[in-house]
Amino acid sequence: KEFRNNVKPNWCPGCGDFSIQAAIQRAAANVGLEPENLAVVSGIGCSGRISGYIHAYGLHGIHGRALPIAQGVKLANRELTVVASGGDGDGFAIGMGHTVHAIRRNMDITYIVMDNQIYGLTKGQTSPRSAEGFKTKSTPEGSIESVLSPLEIAMSAGATFVAQSFSSDLKQLTALIEAGINHKGFSLINVFSPCVTFNKVNTYDWFKENIVKLEEFPDYDPTNRIAAMTKIMETGGLLTGLIYHNQTRKPYEELVSGFRPEGLAKQELQLSRDEFEQLTAEFK
């Protein structure tokens, strides 16, 4: 199965986003999807380009709105596997309201955040994930705001699947995306994805030195919500692996009353061919 297309990514050489693209393509193949079964929806930012780089249905949305679009796609066609993607500015700043409510809604969507702790596309401003004291063009004296913790927010919003990875760890990242796709509900996978052009602090080496792998704790139980929250806080949010997994809650689309199980995209057209042509003529 081939999820590669002919579009050459225009990310900077060395950008962490390349590995995330490869991991999504590998995970989709490993779980047995065909390109026509997969929709990749993205927001705006360097990372938002990813929907054009994967051979599948792709929708490059608007800033902070990848998740509302992804939820619409999923409701319209439940047979599609829906992957939403974007950067930390996209999902945790302008899009944070949508992120929190998508998490608590628990629709069957895999949300992959490319967390480079800066705004790359607009050439290097402080994001909600930038550390206190972080100096950029928008904070020349250093950021005075506290760092937002997406893992803690996801846990407190009732997430059913929370994972974190590093773009350099392709094996772990691919396995987590596979697990997210197989999870019946909303899965958040935050991925440290270095911006080699504008973030000279949170580099590949910095992450390698500071990341804590959950595999170092063989007794860790990802079904224990309190243990998950504790471990996130103990490691300063720098742990990677499957942090929390709750398989007891059904996804939104299975619970909503009166929802067409086939999805709107599959409903029978109640029009003749001529009526359909007339109706759509003005959009041609």
Q: Which residues contribute to the site for ligand SF4 (CB under 6 A)?
A: 11-12, 15, 17, 46, 116, 120-121, 195-198
> Could you tell me the CA-to-CA distances from 261 to 41, 137, 165, 253 in Å, in that order?
22, 50, 34, 8
| C-alpha neighbours within 13 Å on the C-beta side of residue 147 | 19
In angstroms, give the least distance from the CB of 211 to ligand SF4: 19
Residue 12 or 201: which CB sits closer to ligand SF4? 12
| Cβ(70)–Cβ(28) below 8 Å | no
| Cβ(130)–Cβ(118) below 8 Å | yes
In angstroms, rounded to a whole number, what is the distance separating the alpha carbons of residues 55 and 6?
9
Residue 46 or 70: which CB sits closer to ligand SF4? 46
3-state secondary structure of 42: strand
In angstroms, give the least distance from the CB of 199 to ligand SF4: 7
Residue 143 or 199: which CB sits closer to ligand SF4? 199
User: Is residue 120 exposed (0-12), middle (13-18) or buried (19+ Cβ within 10 Å)?
Assistant: buried
Contacts of 48 (CB under 8 A, 6+ apart): 42, 60, 61, 66, 85, 86, 87, 90, 121
Residue 9 or 158: which CB sits closer to ligand SF4? 9
| Cβ(38)–Cβ(81) below 8 Å | yes
Residue 113 or 214: which CB sits closer to ligand SF4? 113
3-state secondary structure of 127: coil
| Cβ(127)–Cβ(46) below 8 Å | no
Residue 149 or 193: which CB sits closer to ligand SF4? 193
In angstroms, give the least distance from the CB of 114 to ligand SF4: 8
In angstroms, give the least distance from the CB of 15 to ligand SF4: 3
3-state secondary structure of 78: coil
**Dihedral sign for Cα atoms in the order 251, 254, 258, 263:** positive
SS (HEC) of 185-246: CCEEEEEECCCCCCCCCCCHHHHHHHCEEHHHCCCCCCCCHHHHHHHHHHCCCCEEEEEEEC
In angstroms, give the least distance from the CB of 171 to ligand SF4: 22
Residue 120 or 180: which CB sits closer to ligand SF4? 120
Residue 15 or 83: which CB sits closer to ligand SF4? 15
In angstroms, give the least distance from the CB of 41 to ligand SF4: 19
In angstroms, give the least distance from the CB of 124 to ligand SF4: 8
In angstroms, give the least distance from the CB of 20 to ligand SF4: 11
